[in-house]
Structure 1
Amino acid sequence: MMRVRPLVSLLFFSSFAYADLGKVTLGISDLPSEIQELKGKTPQSVGEHLFEIRRQVEAGQYDDCFQKVDELRETQVWLEPWLSLRQLECTLSWKASDRRQVARLERVTDRFFQGSIKLNSPLMSSSSREQVFAAKLKQMDLYRRVNRLKAWSDFEQLSEWAHQMPQAQRYQLYRQAGELAFIEQNAKKTVQFYLKALSIDKQQDLMKRLKSLDEDSYNQLESTQAKAKTGEPSKPSSAEVALYQKFQKARSRKRFTELAQIGADYLMAYPQSQYSEAVSRGLLVAVLAVGDKDSPAYREIRKQMLKSLSALDGERLLWMGENAYVKGSYGLAESLSAKAAEKFEGQSDAAKALWIAGRSAYYRSEKAEARRYWEKITVSYPKSNYELEANFAIGISYLREKDKGLAAKFLEKVIARGESELALSAHFWLWRLFKETEEARAQREYTAMQTSYPLTYYAMKARALEEGQLKLWMPEVSKVKNTQRYFTETQSLLYRQLQAFIEGGWSDSVAVIRGSLYSPRLPYDNMFHAAIASKAKDFFTAISLSKTAFDRDPSLISQDHLGLVFPRIYEDTIKAQADKRGISPYLVQALIRQESSFRTDVTSPSNARGLMQMIPLTANEIAKDLRYRSFRSQEQLFDPELNIAFGTYYIRKLVRAFRGHIPAALAAYNAGIGRMRRWFRSREFTESYNSQIPDGPFAELWIDELPWDETRFYVKAVLRNYLLYQLLAEQQVDAVLPLWVTKSDE
């Protein structure tokens, strides 16, 4: 079902007298549910009427929509300005003659410019006004063709609000006035209005029109533009050009040693020149080409290149080191980052350089060398952002070597710094470490996990292993039932509107009012706002708000509250595709929640799209695999059914590629299968990854050793989602080991 665009955006309410305040009890259980269908009955409640209007809009019945809103206005004027804004939108979409359309526009816009709805009302925000201005501009344009007197009247009314219009609307206002003056053959006024429009946005087609009318005004405007332009960058000297050409020549001939020396000389002499970025990138490409290749010839070339590059500044060396690290060229990354750390000695950036050098050494199985870098962070840069990470990494490295004492020492330092994602992992691994030998100490770590991090994969896994079964341990209903607020008369009206919009299914309007109603301060306020966001299908916001609520008051964790933020929409499609591919539907739901929070229209910075965040290139490969010939456009990835079909196929493909090992498949889904395979191959202590191996105490330690921060968090988050979806549906999960293996997988 299509989503209708927001109708009204509202302001925060900070200017009302306390005398207007009234006590209101707000409870999640009091929020209505969205009407799904009327089953042929005549609408009775306000929510049912709003549902009917939404159905008409979705069906393109804009004339019926206008008339339906008219009927509702007679008895439900408290829904203004929403009703009038809806009529404007229905009229603008209505396919009718200009005269009929402009008559309706005028009838509604008059309410804002001359009637009962004030444009500066607290119920109107800038975006609400922009909708009215857009309708009035359309009205002015239509009247320009049939009634110029009324068009000028519209212009006068809009001019009073020009200071509150966005730039594009102000440009349109003055351009339309110019066109109106042109029709009336008033050349002077035409030029004046064109110049006003061009002072806002110098559109080329309007510049041409101005030139044809008044070349002097055009030339004057061009002259003003030329003066405003910044000067041209200074030309490089002949010596700089010659050195740059030498660099390019060495690059084209792949003379890596010579290229590194020339490039370093160039950047030392001309660090901020127009070619400096190209030289830096050329050096990076060249040094990555040599990378970690292990033949004697390449080792010597790499040694000479690094010697030349060591003359560069720390910032450039660290940039190269970071890029080498991302590419998985860990030997190169270590050398460049270690040299950068020397350059940054005593500065905060040294900690970052040491951190990358340490991780690079660790992934080359040089654990002692890695610890040397990390320990320098803890000693020399204890206040840096990397000190906590360094202590955790040292602890994990000793855990990998089965040095119980030193592992505990450094992991306890992480816990001492307070609650964090790393502290949770430290608690879990200490619990694993002492579970068989020091019961009291293990119990302390277990209690800390269950108290501070109950809704995490590690806490749930520990609970399953302790109790032999993972059960839905939380109460069905939260002990906290409601909260009380003091609302102004306007806020009370908004809350009444919000309930009607929830029932009628106007999700965007619900979201707008929720953001304007009041700012959540208490934990239950956050949960109440999360419930409203969930009702509006804004699960991204609902998840964020609920996390704050649960963190601040764990008593709010209940089955009913979790159900709001672990939605089961698209359930039929998910189950059909999961059954088809032979994987758990809970895994697909878990992925969607983490990837997109069930937003169908989201696009990531890497161009991943839709519910399961499919990369177009990957989608093209899947379409070929599935012989899905109708897949021709990236925009199709916003279609829920297609996205779920492709995403489910892909995660199953990854599960097979990693022999049934779901965590490894999830890491590959996030980081890329090629990167995961390269990383696994680079580590001498990589276990055999398949779902049939015993889930030993440290079998999943590799998750906390992953080189990508996002992926470390992602794998555990999806596994947590996976277990919670299963718990919410089935009430318990048998403690089969590994925990992510379900009965259907065995």
Structure 2
Amino acid sequence: MTISTLLITIIAIISSAFFPLQRTEAKMHLIAVEFDTLLQKQSVSKEYQRIYERMKTIKSDFQEKNFERCLKKAITEKSTLPLISDWVVFYELSCARNLYEKGLLSGEKFFKILSRSRPSRQCKDDENKQTVQAFLDGALSYREREVKLSNQRAKLLLDWMMEQKGAFSLEQKAKIIPVSNKALTTVMAFKKEERLEASEEELKLFDQVESDFGKGETLLAVAGGVKLMKKFPAGKRALRIQERIVASYLALSATSPLRSPLLQKMQEGDCTTILAWGKKLFDRLYYNNSLSFLEQAIDKCDSSGRERVEGDYLIGVLAFYLGQYDKAQSYLSKVAIKSAGSERSVRSRYWLAMTALHQQDYQTALEHFERLLQLPHSEEYEQNAAYWRWRSLQQLNRPEEAKRAAQLLIDRFPLSFYALKARMESNNGVLFDNNFKRPLEKIKGSLLLSDAEVRAWKRYGHLLFLGWYEEAQSELSFLTTPVAPEMQLIYAKLYSLAHHYRKAIEMMAPLWKEDKTLLRKELLQMVFPLDFHDTIKKESQQYQLDPLLIHALIRQESAYTPSIASSKGALGLMQILPSTGEELMMKETGTSTTSLSIEEKLLTPTLNIKAGTLYLSRLLKKYEGDVAFSLAAYNAGMGRLQRFKSERGLMIDNPKRKGASVFDELWIDELPWSETQDYVKAVLRNQLLYKFMEK
């Protein structure tokens, strides 16, 4: 596929007068598009520019909690652009509800707003989904607070809500069907009794173990726990006690007189229990404890059984982490043979290759990496294997083979950190050739849209010029997801314009992998933005950090989405946990006295960047400027990284060691969390590309 077939461009003109539509027999519409002039502001008339300038503050007033001004503007402007009136009504309802709940708007006035803003159609599609949700939230809020509703008003309200019953969220359903105390008591009476599922013997053992723990009789509790786990190994009580025994063991200091007898009691467990305990100690980074425990107890496992192979694998990896490379090689070699064809065999060969690198046996490492690249189930290790294969060939002084290995790395993983390093080393420090900065060819094309998609397309254009990016993203998602590569390029730019960079990245990644001619500056800038640059520059200067490092981190953490929240509770652009953010803001940023909650602060871009930059600066100071290790700590947590560093015996913060060899970076690919491995390399890659594009 050539560049000319891919670089389709789009002109999105917003008013209907600007949209030349050609109706087909199937009620579809062809819209002329051109990449270079996509949604350019100069294509908008002065009249529309004035309208946008007037209306854009509706959303900013809502975000700043100026609900009274937001409501007034929404009421005034909702008929100005009929195409996006639903979005304006959404803000009218949201601002009115906030005023009503604060006692700043009477129930009568709020009911009138609900009445006139009632959705005109059922929510059967996504075209008015947000407005319907805002209406339902408002109606439920009114219903909860107005105890003395007139019968007529109550009936009307319920009828209006039931018209939209298909749009109710679970939370809204819970509110509309109140449960009386009596009904709740009845439901609770029929709650399943979990103790009925266990035998009397299991319950008796479990209760005794719990009692012994409660009285501080740890050795008795462990003895009883081992007995419970032997008799009922798959029960949830056995798993609960198993966890508690490990916690008790870890709570003891290394010099505690209880530690040795407790360990002996634990080793009385069967093979399954011993493996589970060893794995838990391993996962919690207690490598010395885990290795000692497994070595003394692994013989309880059948020498040819699966559990023994699992135990040997754990011992091999633990020996590697503790620098006992001969032992690691012995155990991992056995596992690779006994589990041939499995994922465990692949993982064993990876650690065998890394062991050989540490022993400076580059020929053996090369053989393992080359075999690894040909094995099934090796996808997780392909990039690392390709990179360290290249480095091994360099060490073996085989320049022609090393050159081919570098090219393989570049071809298979074109925008990875390792591929960029290979590019620079192969081209005397130059990342891309002259083709990188060449302007894209001007190619025209067309979009084929249904009636509903045309409406969404027009709304997208209006919302984009208003700066209502989340709303524009919502409209764009209403369009059919493209399959053809050229259409993915088009949509990637549309999502980028709407600041939905994560979606744009998702669409561009396979295109770059398939067509290297698309590695152009203009296309990279679509997914490597510099949003919030003034704030980032200001905060970076305060702590003497590279602002492009902050950009690189934000791109990886949130893809510049201010409102994002992770499954672990991290918030905002730099993904900061509320507990961490509270401490940072109270001690350093002087924002603790504001009326905002910590969650609201972290969802405010300026405050999030302020806190995140401060936190990263602390990590860099702690680790003496080592960017990679600081990034690992940012992602995995400082405590976990410190324990890994201590157990692994890393000298990463020794300034005499930094930069001495490319093999000083081996620790990144040895981290016990693949997510953190990928994260560190991705942020370093981002920073490298930002720096190159800045030139």
Distance in 2 (CA, whole Å) between partners of 1:294 and 1:139 is 64
Change (3 A) 1:724 1:84: same
Q: Contact 1:247–1:263 (CA<8 Å) still a contact in 2?
A: no
Which has the larger displacement, 565-574 or 418-427? Answer: 418-427
> Which deviates further from its counterpart, 439-448 or 376-385?
376-385
Task: Tell me what 2:483 maps to.
Answer: 521
Verify: 1:51 aligned to 2:13, yes or no: no
Alignment of 1:461 with 2:461, yes or no, is: no
Greater shift, 535-544 or 268-277, is seen at: 268-277
Distance 1:387 1:133, change over 3 A: same
Pair 1:709-2:674 in alignment: yes
The match for 1:424 is 383
Q: Structure 2: where are the runs of 5+ without partners?
A: 1-22
Q: 2:541 aligns with which of 579, 583, 592?
A: 579
Cα distance in 2 for residues equivalent to 1:136 and 1:625: 42
Among 424, 428, 435, the alignment partner of 2:394 is 435
Further displaced range: 688-697 or 347-356: 347-356
Relative to structure 1, is the Cα distance of residues 620 and 120 closer, same or farther in structure 2, using a 3 angstrom cutoff?
closer
Taking a change above 3 Å as real, the CA distance of residues 348 and 30 of structure 1, as seen in their structure-2 partners, is farther
Structure 1 CA distance, aligned partners of 2:587 and 2:184? 57
In the aligned structure 1, how far is the partner of 2:174 from the partner of 2:584? 46
8 A contact 1:457–1:720 mirrored in 2: yes
Equivalent in the alignment of 2:598: 634
Q: Does the 8 Å contact 1:69/1:87 carry over to 2?
A: no
Q: Check 1:78–1:603 CA distance in 2 against 1; reply closer, same or farther (3 A cut).
A: closer
Alpha carbons 1:63, 1:91 under 8 Å: kept = yes
State the Cα deviation string for residues 706-737 of structure 1 (Å, max 9, x = none): 2222222222111111111211212xxxxxxx
- Shift of residue 446 of structure 1? 1.0
1:152 matched to which residue of 2? 155
- The 10-residue stretch of structure 1 (84-93 or 647-656) with the greater mean CA deviation from structure 2: 84-93
Contact 1:398 1:407 (C-alpha < 8 Å) held by counterparts: yes
Picking from 295, 305, 308, the partner of 2:265 is: 305
CA distance, structure 1, for counterparts of residue 611 and residue 542 of structure 2: 12
- For 1:500, the equivalent position in structure 2 comes to 462
Counterpart selection for 1:64 from 72, 77, 82: 72
Q: What is the one-letter code of the residue matched to 2:76?
A: K
User: By how many angstroms is 1:302 displaced?
Assistant: 6.6
Decide whether aligned partners of structure 1 residues 249 and 550 sit closer, same or farther in structure 2, where only a CA change above 3 A counts. Answer: same
Does the CA contact (< 8 Å) of 1:427 and 1:449 recur in 2?
A: yes
Q: In the alignment, is residue 644 of structure 1 matched against residue 609 of structure 2?
A: yes
After TM superposition, give the deviation of residue 78 of structure 1 in Å.
Answer: 3.9
The answer on 1:245 being equivalent to 2:245 is no
| 1:638-658 alpha-carbon deviations (Å, 9 max, x no partner) | 333333233223322322322
Which one of 320, 332, 337 corresponds to residue 379 of structure 1?
Answer: 337
Q: CA deviation at 1:87?
A: 4.7
Instruction: Report the 3-state secondary structure (helix = DSSP H, G, I; strand = E; otherwise coil) of the residue aligned with 2:30.
Output: strand
Preserved CA contact (<8 Å) 2:226 2:268: yes
> Structure 1 residues 459 and 86 mapped into 2: Cα distance closer, same or farther (>3 Å)?
same
Of 507, 525, 532 in structure 2, the residue corresponding to residue 563 of structure 1 is 525
Greater shift in the superposed pair: 561-570 or 333-342: 333-342
- In structure 1, distance between residues paired with 2:62 and 2:653: 57
Deviation for aligned residue 1:618 = 4.1
Deviation at 1:237, TM superposition (A): 4.2
- Name the Cα RMSD after superposition: 4.1
C-alpha distance in 2, partners of 1:23/1:458?
Answer: 43
Residue matched to 1:329: 286
Aligned partners of 1:49 and 1:504 also within 8 Å: no
CA contact (8 A) 1:529 1:542 kept: yes
Contact (CA 8 Å) 1:411, 1:426: kept in 2 or not? yes
Aligned length: 656
Q: Give, in angstroms, the shift of residue 329 of structure 1.
A: 1.3
Determine the structure 2 residue equivalent to 1:177. none
Q: State the partner residue of 1:105.
A: 114
Change (3 A) 1:495 1:302: same
Conserved 8 A contact 1:534-1:565: yes
Shift of 1:614: 3.0
Q: In structure 2, what is the Cα distance between the partners aligned to 1:345 and 1:20?
A: 71
Residues 87-111 of structure 1 deviation map (CA, whole Å, 9 limit, x = unaligned): 54455456554444433433332xx
Distance in 1, matches of 2:327 and 2:565, equals: 41
- Equivalent residues in 2 for 1:129-168, closer than 5 Å: 129-134=132-137, 148-149=151-152, 151-159=154-162, 161-162=164-165, 165-166=168-169, 168=171
Question: Contact 1:706/1:712 (CA < 8 Å) preserved in 2?
Answer: yes
Secondary structure (helix, strand or coil) at the match of 1:517 reads coil
Cα pair 1:539 1:598 within 8 Å, conserved: yes
User: After the TM superposition, which residues 353-432 of structure 1 pair with which residues of structure 2 at under 5 Å, given as runs?
Assistant: 355-417=313-375, 420=379, 422-432=381-391
Superposed, 1:201-240 pairs within 5 Å as 201-204=178-181, 221=183, 225=187, 228-231=190-193, 233-234=195-196, 237=200
1:700 alignment partner AA = E
Secondary structure of the structure 2 residue equivalent to 1:410: helix
Report the 3-state secondary structure (helix = DSSP H, G, I; strand = E; otherwise coil) of the residue aligned with 2:448. Answer: strand
* 2:500 aligned with 1:542: no
**What secondary structure sits across from 2:26 in the alignment?**
helix
Name the SS of the counterpart of 1:626 in structure 2: helix
- Gap change, CA 1:290 and 1:444, over 3 Å in 2: farther
Distance of aligned partners of 1:70 and 1:669 in 2 relative to their CA distance in 1, 3 Å threshold: closer
Tell me the distance in 1 between the aligned counterparts of 2:379 and 2:175: 52
In the other structure, the counterpart of 1:282 is 244
Distance 2:431 2:24 in 1: 50
Amino acid at match of 1:652: S
Decide whether the 8 Å contact of 2:225 with 2:242 is kept in 1.
Answer: yes
- Note if contact 2:322-2:648 (Cα within 8 Å) is conserved in structure 1: yes
Secondary structure in 2 aligned to 1:486? strand
Counterpart residue identity of residue 64, structure 1: K
In structure 2, what residue type is equivalent to 1:202?
A: V
From the superposition, tell whether residues 690 and 619 of structure 1 become closer, same or farther in structure 2 (CA, over 3 Å).
farther
Query: Which residue in the other structure is 1:610 paired with?
Result: 572
Residue identity (%): 21
Contact 1:391 1:410 in 2 (8 A): yes
Residue type at the aligned position of 1:426: A
| Counterpart residue type for residue 432 of structure 1 | R
Say whether the 8 Å CA contact 1:247–1:259 is kept in structure 2: yes
- Partner in structure 1 of residue 664 of structure 2: 699
Name the TM-score, length of structure 1 as normaliser: 0.76
1:135, distance to aligned residue in structure 2 (A): 5.1
Cross-structure match for 1:740: none
- Distance, in Å, in 2 between the alignment partners of 1:77 and 1:626 is 47
The worse-fitting range, judged by mean Cα deviation, of 237-246 and 708-717 is 237-246
CA displacement 1:498-528 (0-9 Å, x = unmatched) = 1111111122221212222011323343343
CA contact (8 A) 1:660 1:690 kept: no
Mapping of residues 485-496 of structure 1, within 5 Å: 485-496=447-458
Contact 1:62–1:93 (CA under 8 A) maintained in structure 2 = no
Do the aligned partners of residues 90 and 268 (structure 1) sit closer, same or farther apart at CA in structure 2, a change above 3 Å counting?
same
Query: Do 1:53 and 1:69's aligned partners in 2 also have CA atoms closer than 8 Å?
Result: no
TM superposition shift of 1:356: 3.6
1:39-59 Cα offsets, whole Å, 9 max, x none, are: xx8754765565354456555
Task: Look up the SS of the partner of 2:195 in the other structure.
Answer: coil
Compute the displacement of 1:401 (Å): 1.0
Change (3 A) 1:641 1:132: closer
